[in-house]
Structure 1
Amino acid sequence: MPFIKLEGGKIDKEKKERLISEFTRIASETLGIPEEAFVVLIKENEMDNWGTGGKVLSKILAERGNK
């Protein structure tokens, strides 16, 4: 059973549904495996759970003027 995992920030329900659908479709076409065989996991993380350059992502985004 093929497994696809995406880790990222918060994603709304409609985008999750589209990601799951498109990941499954493309992987099925590429690998020649039926769509029903795929499992897709979307793991959402808080921005304070990610860091780079010694800073949490929420601070980096705030400094850049992003949410």
Structure 2
Amino acid sequence: MPYISFESGKLEKKIKQKLIEQLTEVSVDITGIPKELFFISIKEIPDGDIAVGGKTVTEMKKELKK
């Protein structure tokens, strides 16, 4: 059973559903494995726990709003 793991910051329910659908579709197209065999896991990490260049995603979002 193929396993796809996707990690990101907080996502809206609609976005998660679209990810599940499209990750499955692309994987089936490439591998030919039936979609019923794919297992997909979405792990959301709080924005304060993700950092790029020494700044958390929370800080970067605040800066982008300015």
The interval holding the TM-score normalised by the smaller chain is 0.7 to 0.9
**Unaligned residue ranges in structure 1 (runs of 5+):** none
Which residue does the alignment assign to 1:23? 23
| Structure 2: tracts of 5 or more residues without a match | none
TM-score (norm 2): 0.85
Tell me how many residue pairs correspond in the alignment: 66
Instruction: State how far apart, in whole Å, the 2-side matches of 1:43 and 1:36 are.
Output: 21
Provide the identity percentage. Answer: 35
> Aligned-residue CA RMSD in angstroms?
1.5
Structure 1 length-normalised TM: 0.84
